[in-house]
Structure formats: structure tokens, C-alpha cells
Structure 1
Amino acid sequence: MKPYHYLIAFLFFSSFLLGQTKVGGKVTDEFGDPVAFANVVFKDSKEGVITDENGDFYFESDKDYTALVVTFVGFSREEVPLKKGLNANLKIVLKEGTELKEVVVYTGKTSKKDNPALDILRKIWERKRKNGLYMFDQYKYDKYEKVEFDMNTLDSAFMNSKIFKGMEFIFDNIDTSRITGKTYLPIFINESLSEVYGDNVLKKKKEILKANKNSGFGDGDGVNTFIKDLYAEYDIYNNYLKFFDKDFVSPLSRTGINVYNYVLSDSTFIDNKWCYNIVFYPRRKNELTFKGDFWVNDSTFAIKKINLEASKSANINWVKEIYIEQEFDVLNDSVFLLKRDYMMSDFSFSKKEESKGVYGKRTTVVKNHQFDIPKDEKFYREEVNFYDNAVFDKPNEFWEQNRFESLNNNEAGIYKMLDTLGTVPKFKRIYNLASILGSGYVEFPQYNLDFGPIFSTFGYNDVEGVRIRAGGRTYFGPNDKWRIQGYGAYGFNDDKFKYGISGKWMVNPKNRLILSLGNRRDVEQIGVSLTTSNDVLGRSFASSSLFSSGINNKLTSINLTTLGAEMEVFKNFMIQTNLTYRTLRSASNEFSLDYYTDASQSEIKSEVKQSELNLVLEYTPGRKTVGYGVDRMEVDNNYARFFLSYSNGLKGVLNSDFNYQKLQLFYRQPALIGGFGRLFTTFETGKIFGTVPLGLMGVIPGNQSYFIIENTYNLLDYYDFVADEYASLHFEHHFNGRLFSRVPMLRKLNLREIIGIKGVYGRVSDENKLINASGFEYVAPEDLYWEYHAGVGNIFKILRIDCAWRGSYLDMPNARKFSVKASFGFYF
């Protein structure tokens, strides 16, 4: 921590220093080297922290203390006198211990049998499913949650910046963090009250929102729910704790002894319970681990208190710090229940100490537990899409009476400050710019319209040449029950206008019964996905071939009309049915969809007309979404997906040409592999029963772009393989830097390793070969096509580069045997 940060904190908070003790500084040895993970506590108290990798620390207390005690194994105990208020930039030097015979020093792996900390840890493992809520068949409790975002590391230069001219009043709410000592300005707050029900027998859980209050941005849950879901639920007893799509090893994990050092530091009574204090810290840098300590009861071996702070060198982007505190209450002398959970993250472009960022803080308080009151399984299934306007319209008096802990003065002023800020024109412009970059749409709230997505405005392909596109949608709020959207496009080479329009209406919000209707006339690249979709406004890869390799003229002109209905029968289980009509013809003179219409092969037709009835079952356990309207945003893609589709071609309906049945199955499963990253498995299979032409065949998805596209084959061109029955299997494993973190020269780069292999088998029936009049020879991967790839991600925090090698069909004409592909993205 820089000295002037403490000076700024003092200037802004001199009026609050009475009755507080704030300390910060650095712990080193006699040679000036930092002492990482040293224990720093106020004398005669249990309030303290552990120094970080650089020996730095900061913490504070509402009480007055006169001395600080610093200890670390192998060093003598150091006592530092304190003055009232702020004690900044302390320089504490530890000397090597002179009575080493009385000290057991653990270095390297702390798996010795005589380490008492590990004996206690093993007892925690034995009882971790016998503590807390797991002791009861059913449970219910009330929950209060507060989520807050704050700009941090504010200095005078920042506050005097021209960007804040006319908005200086916002700095009236400035505060200082009790964790880091940095100044911060609250900019967002969301509060919620809910009832939580759980059944350990049925393995079900349900949360009913009773009240919600936000900072004034938006008119429903919307973005606020998305912010809340950045902080996934976690159980410290689990082997891995997931934050920002990363799996951190819990210090209570059975594999913790492989990545942590443990030291038994202290023991005392807490709430009339004798508890042991164990300090833990990571063995190696750059791994997804924590430092901290916990207090554990000596009889139940349940956690009473725990503090975790993510290693500053952890392989995670845009997050400088993650800090967690949990406190547990004692019920009936032996049951330990979570009472309070506090989490703080410091989002920043840089991990340098002086860099500015944004704090994301979540405080959860629970009380009023009830147990063993069963509810039937129907209770956990009903109200799939609960939404009640009254939940978001509680008066201030309600919150003053019902919030579980009071807001401090700065938090209480946020609502008024943000309401005022929303009337400032300059702030509106800044907010609108951020909204455009985040959503891709330009908002026109006075007309309830959004223009976009702007990232699809320009494109190119071999048929249309340069292509421009403009679109929009209705938008009254994040929970709209109906929405109309559409676009128009023009290709300068083919001199043709294209368009798409779609409408959705949620008839029954509770089970999300949605009716939809749409029509699209456009140029499309068929064969970019094995599993078909009837999404009318899905963006076509045809417009993205500006960055592609090889010839890309196998494009199709499509006229698609669809009428559909879908319903979420229970949470994350959806049934959908569609009636579609489409016409297909080649968009290029160099590509043909011709087929024979008679057995003698004397008549040829170039256009396909097809009516189809489609039934889809989709199950996505664990999926989290935002909002209650017809369009919902997914929080992440780290969930299993099971997709089953049955289609029936209706010959003669609207002059439809073919009668057939098509069955398709898609299954995707992410799985954590013992702390060595995450494995993504994708399986697809399908079969067409009946005779169909090329336009209705299954095309094995190639990838002629320079970019990584999920579920495609890197070394196949479009239409290299076709099939009317197929099975495809993809494995891709993300090590998340676990291997590179052990290589000294690569450790600081925070690179991430990816490996994968994929293969597909397919066949084409003789009947489908006989009606082919396109001049295009059907080739099916009957001998199993496969390829493999290896890549490095997190290059400059945004870039991933993969190398791919072909494993079979090496003698095909123009076969690509090797390729390099990339992708860009902002990932934690």
C-alpha cells in the first residue's frame, strides 16, 4: 500500500477515526525480504489477518487497541505499539527465533504424521457431511442479501478529473475499506429478502424472493440479478469453490494438503466452545488457492469462523483480490449453521497495488431456521417463472423495519445519490456508451426501441460481396412479456435485399408458455452445425467470411417461416414445437442443390420446398438465467445440456416435396477433473428416415474461418462430408494453467493449457445417393474422421491460439492437415 493512499484515507475519514484502530504496513525479515503469510493480530484479541505474498497487510477494528502482535513459525514473536486511529505504513521486522527447540517448523509439504493441523483437518473431512444443514432432512430459513459495487483507490487527481465536472456531489459518499484500507465510492447497491427451502432427501432447493430494492438503474431484477449471479453459491466444505468460472481449491478439501501448508496457530473459547485456529497458505504461486485461517470446534469439528483471501498470483483475470469471511452460529450446543457470509472482489485491469478498480461486495445474513418440515416435490417444481411487481415496490419504511442489518451512512446515501445522478446529462451519456458496448444495442427509450446489434452491421461473403445490415427490437424493460425484432440487409455484389422479422408473446408467465412467429429471407451457410435450429433471426455464418480461408461459395438462399410454441414444464426443462415452411435454392452459380424427382432420373428440380413439424425436449440442469421476460440472458455456459429433437417432413402440405422423419440428440457435459481443470464432453447423433436431397441432408460442420468455433471441425471445409446418419464425439480439456504454473519461466505469464480431440462417423443411404443431381459427390466419414488440437489461452488476457492436426482422411483432395486458429474474449 502506497503511503499517500493512507493520507487520502485519513483526510476523508478523520471524523470517523475516534473509537477505531486501523493498521497497515509490511512484514520483513532481518535481510529485508518479505515474510509472506505471517499472522498479524491485535494484542489480546482474535482480530487479525495474514500477510500476503509480499508481506503486506491492512485491517481495522471498531475497538481501540494499543499493540499489534506479529508471529510466524521460525521467527520470534514481535509486539508493535499502536497509537489511536490510523497506523499506516508500519515496517515490522521479524528476527529468527532463538528457542527453536520449542518450535516445530514445517516447510514444503506439511503431510507429516506429527503435524497436529493435519490431524484436525482429517477429522473435518470425516464430519463435513454431518454438520450444519446436512444434519436435517428438510430446512427453511430467511435470507437477507446486499450486493454493492464501489469505485476504489480514489485520489485527488481522479476526483478532480474533468469527467466528473457537474457530478462532484457523488464524492460526498466516499468511504474506506476495512479490508484493504483503500478509499472507495459506492456506485450501486441491491438488497433482497427471501425465504429459502431445502430438502436433503429429495436434493431440492428453492428460494422465494419476497422483496428487492436496487440503486435505481433498470425497472426490475434484470442487470441486478446478473450482478448477483457473478457470486455463485459456495460451500466451504466442498473440495472446490467456484468463482468467476474458476475452481479454487478449498482449504478444507481432501486434496488441500497437495496445494496448502497448514499450521496449528492457537486455541481458545469462542462462544463457550473450545476451538482450534489453523493458518493455511499456498505452497506454490499462480495456482487457484487462498491464504487465511479458520477456527474449528474441538468436538464437532465444525467451522466456527473462516477467512479466505485469494492468492494475488492466482491465474484469474480482471480480479485483483477475492476476500471471504464466514461466521457460523451454534444451535442446540452442537449444530453449527452459517450466520453471515461476506465476499469482496476487486475488479481491475491491472493487479498493481495502485491501480484503480471496482469493488464487488456481497453480504448475506441468515436467521430463523426451521427444520424437518417436509414439503412435497411439487412445491419445488411450481412457479418456474415467478415475478411479482410488488416485490420490487416496497417502501423505505419496509426496509428500515425488515433488513437484517442496518446500512451505514454511506450506503444509506447511495439511493439518493444515484437518483440524482440519473438526471445529470453527462452521466447519461457515459451510461449509454457503456450500455452500447455491453449489449450491442443503441437505446431509444423514448420510443421503447433498441437499434442493433451493431456488431452485425458489416459483413462479407463470396456471393453477396460487401454486406450491410441494420436491425432493431422493441424494449420496454428486461421483463417484457412480448417482443418484436427484425433486420434488413443488402449485398452489393448480388444486388439483393434480405430481411428477417420475428415476434414472441409470453401467454402464461408462470410456466413460460411462449408463442412465436417469424419469417426470414436471406443467404445462409448450411452446414455449420449438426443439430438444426429454427431460430429465425440467428446470425448466418455467410456474412462472416471476410476472415475465412479457401473458396466459400456453397451458400443457400433460404425463405423460412416458422410458427412455434414453447413451455418450461419445470425448472430448466423445456418442451417446444414448431411448424415450419422453407424454400431452399443455391445462392451461387458454382454450387447446386439439384435433385432428381423420378426414379428414371429424367426430371431435375433445383428448389426444395418443405413443410416440417418439429418437437424438441431440452433439459439444462444447473442453468442460471437473468430476468423473467420472453428473452432471458444466461449467466454462463457451465451447465449440462440435453437436447432431443424429432422432425417430421410433411409432403404435400403447402406443396412440400418430401416425407421423412429426423431424430437428433445433443448432449454436452462439463466436468471438474480432480482439480486439474474442466473437461467438456459433447456428443451428437442423428438419423434421417426417408429420402431427402442435399439441402435437407446432415452436413458435417466444417470451419473455414481463422477463428475457433465450438462444435465444428477445424480442418474440414463446408460440405467435405455429408451424412443422413451420424455420431460425433468431442472432448476438450481446459487445465486453467495448472501445468504452466509449475514451470518457473512460464509461471508469471498466467497462460492456460487446452487440449482436445474430436471425431465423427457417418453414412449416406443408397436412396439419397440416387436422387442427387447436384454434381456434388456425397462423401460420408464411414472410416471415422478425427482430428486433435492443443492450444494456449489467456495470452495478453484476451487471446487463445490453437493448433489442430488432421488424424484421418489425409489423402482427400485439398485436405488441410494442419491449421492455426484463434479466438478473442474477456474471460476471468
Structure 2
Amino acid sequence: MSKLSTFIYIALFSCVLHSQTVSENTVTTQQDTIKKSEFIKQLGNGYFPTKYFNFDLRYLIKYNQYEALRTGLGGITNDAFSDKLRLNTYVVYGFRDHRFKYSFGTGLRLDEKTSTWIHASYTDDLQESGSSAFLTDKRIFQFFEPRLLNISLFHKHTTRAVSIEHQLSPKLQTETQLAFSYIVPTYDYEFVVNGASYTTFHISTFKTCMQWSPFSGFELSDNRYVETKNGYPKLTLQYTKSIKNLGKGDFNFSKLDFRLIQEFDYHNDSKSEITLVSGITSGETPLTHLYHAYPNNINKETIMQRFSVAGINSFETMYFNEFFSDKFTTMQFKHFFKPFNISACFKPQLVLISRYAIGDISHIERHQNVTFKSLKHGYTESGFEINKLIFGFGTSLTYRYGAYHLPNFGDNVAFKFTFNVTL
């Protein structure tokens, strides 16, 4: 072989070797990027992933007026453990009530393409009285839950539940649940109905929920539908029936809950959001299962004594436990202006907010040892937020006016800080 041929051979071999090395490095870099992106996504959803088990960050540390500090551990198995079987659990401890709370459950996948699962669970925990959640809201995680700090009205519940989760179509999610609960209010409360008085009670419920996202886009990936376009509006409808004498059920009542979320994107980093929530219940409904209107104001004398953290969809000037309803509607409007581009690291954003609530209650005399008002005259508040001033913190100012305006000017004002972090 001539020197020229040898040189050409060595050059070609070096090129091939270099190409393979670059290709391998590129693949490795891409894999590392995908892993990092998936890890950040899991953190954004409130999980710290490990090989077989994802720790749930919601249970690490919280604070409220009944338990004070609440801390514990929880989580759920991931697809590496099994893509057909889920196991989930948590255990927490409240330092003021000196009590452990816990839950454990399992899920079995019946069909992958329609994401059909059957779930069973047992829970012994607290729940805020007057709160209402949709079954399809599977995962709501916030780094910081503002309203939780000031909630004082809880009831203990021991609940056994079985449910079926199913996609009728990629845009239509459904879940149906049968649950049996034993309720013990943590406050002095007596429910008087049909000549009988209850301080604790059993409730057996059948519940079905549908969430429709007609303008979202979905693609089939690994035999599962993945949302590729977050479209609006999003509509959720839920029906609940409490059945007397089913199991140990004490009461007959029905609930119908509806929510609409609409977003308008103006493609200049500004947007508007409208959130409409409505609910109605009829029958023998105890206070634990009535509606509040997401209040977030503590009952203290001065504005600065009430200084706390603003919520996401809560009424900042409405005092906790001030109103309860068996029928209500709330509407919230937010307009997010384009962030002020002061520097690469300092981009505060102005948000204008207006909220309205109306409701009513029948048979208020059934609810003994508690005092609250009706929302039948309509409740209004408006204000603004300036978000992301420093490390995700901002500030908000809200004013209460209209039918429920209070005589003392300061009692109508809520001055708070905000917290917004996006991964």
C-alpha cells in the first residue's frame, strides 16, 4: 500500500470515528435533556421521581389554623413499577391536634387507549367544611397554598371509596365514584332535620363527573392520548347524590356543580381569564356539604393584622365562615397585562381583578351553634396584583363594595402578597 493510500485510509477512518463520537455525544446530550425535562415536569406536577415511586410534594409541609404545622410523606408508584397497577399512600401528622391522618389506595388499568382505571381507597383525614372539588381535578399542585394558612373550619372524615375513570373521547374525561363517609365536625355544630339532631353522621354518595375540553388538541403517543394544545373553554359538570340507608347513610340530598374556564390570549404576552363556578344542593344537606365562596380573609381588626397571602381564585376581602349557601354562583375576571421588561431578571406583571358572588340558603334554622349570612344580595370586590417583584413574590390590593360593603373603610380592604412560580 502506497503512502498516499495509507494516508487516505487513516483520514477516512478518523472521519468515521469522529462522526460516530459526535453522533454518540449528540444522542447522549439529547437523552440527558429529555431526562432533565421530564424531571422538571414531574416537579412542576408536585412529584419527586425515583425509580419505582414518585414522592408527592403536597404532603411534606403545610399549615392551617386547626392542625398548625402538618407534615408527612406520600406518593404513588410509577410506570417503571407497573403501567397496569398503581399504589398510592400518604401519612401526615398535625402538631396542634396531635393526630395522624392517612390514606392508601390502589388502581388497576382496564384499558390503555381510553385510560380506563378502577380505583379503591381508604382515607382518614380532614376536609374544609363547605369546600367542593371535582373528581376530574386529579392533580392540582401549588408550591404554596395561600388559603390553607387561615382555614379553621374542618370536619374529620373516614371514607371508603371505589371509582372508575374513563375517557369517552380524548376531549371528554369522566369519573364515577361510590363513597361511604363518617363525618365528625371539629367545631361545635348540630344539624337538626326531621325532628332528629346530629353532631356526627354517615353520608353515602354516588358521584359522577365529566370534563370537556372541546378546543384542546390531542395526539396518540405510545397508545395514549397526550394533550398537545391547551384549548378553551374547559367545562366541568358534576352530579352528587347522597342516599339515605345506603350503607349507614343518614341523609338524602343532591348536588349539581358546574365550572367554566375561558382564556383569551392576545399574542402580545397579555391575556384575560374568566372563571365561572356554580353549584346547587337540595334536600337534607349538612353544613359540611354546603358551599362557601372561597373566602380568604381572616377576622382581625386592622388591615396589617389581616396581611397574608392572596389565593388564586379566592375572595380576598370575604371573611372565613362569613357566608354559606345551598345555591351559589361566582364569576372571576382577570386581565394580565404584558410584563414590564425592566431587565432580564426583573419582569413584574400587573393583573386587574374583579370578582362577583351571589347565592342563597334555605332552612338556615337547621344549622345550630354556627352563625353565617346569605349571599342573596350579591358580593363584589375588585383590585389588582403586581406579581413577580422578587423571587416570585408580589403584592395585591382588593376592595369590597356593593351590598356587603362594611361601615368601617378598613374592613373592606385586603392588602396581601402574592406568590407565583412556574417551572
TM range, normalised to the smaller chain? 0.7 to 0.9
From 341, 356, 371, the counterpart of 1:777: 371
Going from structure 1 to structure 2, the CA distance change for 1:416 and 1:524 (only over 3 Å counts) comes to closer
Q: Does 1:712 align with 2:309?
A: no
SS of the aligned residue for 2:317 comes to coil
Q: Hey, what does 2:158 align to over in structure 1?
A: 559
Q: Hey, what does 1:802 align to over in structure 2?
A: 396
Q: What is the letter of the counterpart of residue 473 of structure 1?
A: I
> Does the aligned pair in 1 maintain the 2:65–2:149 contact within 8 Å?
no
Q: Does 1:723 align with 2:325?
A: yes
Q: What is the letter of the counterpart of residue 804 of structure 1?
A: T
Q: Does 1:817 align with 2:412?
A: yes
> Does the aligned pair in 1 maintain the 2:235–2:259 contact within 8 Å?
yes
Q: In the TM superposition, what is the alpha-carbon distance from 1:579 to its structure 2 partner?
A: 0.9
SS of the aligned residue for 1:795 comes to strand
Residue ranges of structure 2 left out of the alignment (5+ in a row): 1-16, 299-307
Give, in whole Å, the separation in 2 of the partners of 1:526 and 1:772.
Answer: 13
Going from structure 1 to structure 2, the CA distance change for 1:698 and 1:441 (only over 3 Å counts) comes to closer
Q: Hey, what does 2:5 align to over in structure 1?
A: none
Q: What is the letter of the counterpart of residue 393 of structure 2?
A: L
> Does the aligned pair in 2 maintain the 1:518–1:562 contact within 8 Å?
yes
From 415, 427, 430, the counterpart of 2:27: 415
From 209, 228, 243, the counterpart of 1:616: 209
Q: Hey, what does 2:181 align to over in structure 1?
A: 582
User: Percent same amino acid among aligned pairs?
Assistant: 17
> Does the aligned pair in 2 maintain the 1:501–1:537 contact within 8 Å?
no
Task: Report 1 or 2 for greater relative contact order, CA contacts < 8 Å, sequence distance ≥ 6.
Answer: 2
Q: Hey, what does 1:761 align to over in structure 2?
A: 358
Give, in whole Å, the separation in 2 of the partners of 1:487 and 1:654.
Answer: 26
Q: In the TM superposition, what is the alpha-carbon distance from 1:432 to its structure 2 partner?
A: 11
> Does the aligned pair in 2 maintain the 1:727–1:761 contact within 8 Å?
yes
SS of the aligned residue for 1:460 comes to strand
From 592, 595, 599, the counterpart of 2:188: 592
Q: Hey, what does 1:462 align to over in structure 2?
A: 65
Q: Hey, what does 1:107 align to over in structure 2?
A: none
TM-score by length of 2: 0.79
More strand by share: 2
Going from structure 1 to structure 2, the CA distance change for 1:750 and 1:454 (only over 3 Å counts) comes to closer
SS of the aligned residue for 1:782 comes to coil
1:623-673: per-residue Cα shift (whole Å, max 9, x none)?
A: 468997999997896642101111111111112111122111111110135
Residue ranges of structure 1 left out of the alignment (5+ in a row): 1-171, 174-406, 423-427
Q: In the TM superposition, what is the alpha-carbon distance from 1:440 to its structure 2 partner?
A: 5.0
Give, in whole Å, the separation in 2 of the partners of 1:480 and 1:414.
Answer: 30
Q: Hey, what does 1:338 align to over in structure 2?
A: none
Higher alpha-carbon Rg: 1
Q: What is the letter of the counterpart of residue 296 of structure 2?
A: N
> Does the aligned pair in 2 maintain the 1:567–1:576 contact within 8 Å?
yes
Q: What is the letter of the counterpart of residue 820 of structure 1?
A: F
1:498-552: per-residue Cα shift (whole Å, max 9, x none)?
A: 101222222011222221111211122234x5555487998899x9689845xx4
Q: Does 1:671 align with 2:264?
A: yes
CA RMSD of aligned residues (A): 4.1
> Does the aligned pair in 2 maintain the 1:787–1:805 contact within 8 Å?
yes
SS of the aligned residue for 1:415 comes to helix
Going from structure 1 to structure 2, the CA distance change for 1:807 and 1:761 (only over 3 Å counts) comes to same
Structure 1 segment 344-363 matched on structure 2, within 5 A: none
> Does the aligned pair in 2 maintain the 1:700–1:720 contact within 8 Å?
no
> Does the aligned pair in 2 maintain the 1:500–1:537 contact within 8 Å?
no
Give, in whole Å, the separation in 2 of the partners of 1:627 and 1:530.
Answer: 33
Give, in whole Å, the separation in 1 of the partners of 2:232 and 2:328.
Answer: 25
Q: Hey, what does 1:449 align to over in structure 2?
A: 53
Q: What is the letter of the counterpart of residue 290 of structure 2?
A: M
1:734-791: per-residue Cα shift (whole Å, max 9, x none)?
A: 1223xx57xxx999954322101010100101xx323222x11241111101111212
Going from structure 1 to structure 2, the CA distance change for 1:683 and 1:442 (only over 3 Å counts) comes to closer
> Does the aligned pair in 2 maintain the 1:608–1:695 contact within 8 Å?
no
Give, in whole Å, the separation in 2 of the partners of 1:596 and 1:586.
Answer: 14
> Does the aligned pair in 1 maintain the 2:256–2:279 contact within 8 Å?
yes
Q: Hey, what does 2:3 align to over in structure 1?
A: none
When structure 1 is superposed on structure 2, of 715-724 and 815-824 the one drifting more is: 815-824
Give, in whole Å, the separation in 2 of the partners of 1:435 and 1:725.
Answer: 38
Q: Does 1:486 align with 2:89?
A: yes
Q: In the TM superposition, what is the alpha-carbon distance from 1:700 to its structure 2 partner?
A: 1.7
Going from structure 1 to structure 2, the CA distance change for 1:671 and 1:545 (only over 3 Å counts) comes to closer
Counting matched residue pairs gives: 396
From 103, 111, 120, the counterpart of 1:500: 103
Q: Does 1:646 align with 2:239?
A: yes
Q: Hey, what does 1:127 align to over in structure 2?
A: none
SS of the aligned residue for 2:247 comes to helix
1:260-312: per-residue Cα shift (whole Å, max 9, x none)?
A: xxxxxxxxxxxxxxxxxxxxxxxxxxxxxxxxxxxxxxxxxxxxxxxxxxxxx
1:15-55: per-residue Cα shift (whole Å, max 9, x none)?
A: xxxxxxxxxxxxxxxxxxxxxxxxxxxxxxxxxxxxxxxxx
Q: What is the letter of the counterpart of residue 757 of structure 1?
A: S
Give, in whole Å, the separation in 2 of the partners of 1:514 and 1:576.
Answer: 9
Q: Hey, what does 2:119 align to over in structure 1?
A: 516
TM-score by length of 1: 0.43
Q: In the TM superposition, what is the alpha-carbon distance from 1:723 to its structure 2 partner?
A: 0.6
SS of the aligned residue for 1:655 comes to coil
SS of the aligned residue for 2:315 comes to coil
When structure 1 is superposed on structure 2, of 672-681 and 752-761 the one drifting more is: 672-681
Q: What is the letter of the counterpart of residue 283 of structure 2?
A: G
Structure 1 segment 253-332 matched on structure 2, within 5 A: none
Going from structure 1 to structure 2, the CA distance change for 1:812 and 1:613 (only over 3 Å counts) comes to farther
Q: What is the letter of the counterpart of residue 756 of structure 1?
A: I
Give, in whole Å, the separation in 2 of the partners of 1:659 and 1:563.
Answer: 20
Q: What is the letter of the counterpart of residue 92 of structure 2?
A: A
Give, in whole Å, the separation in 1 of the partners of 2:41 and 2:256.
Answer: 41
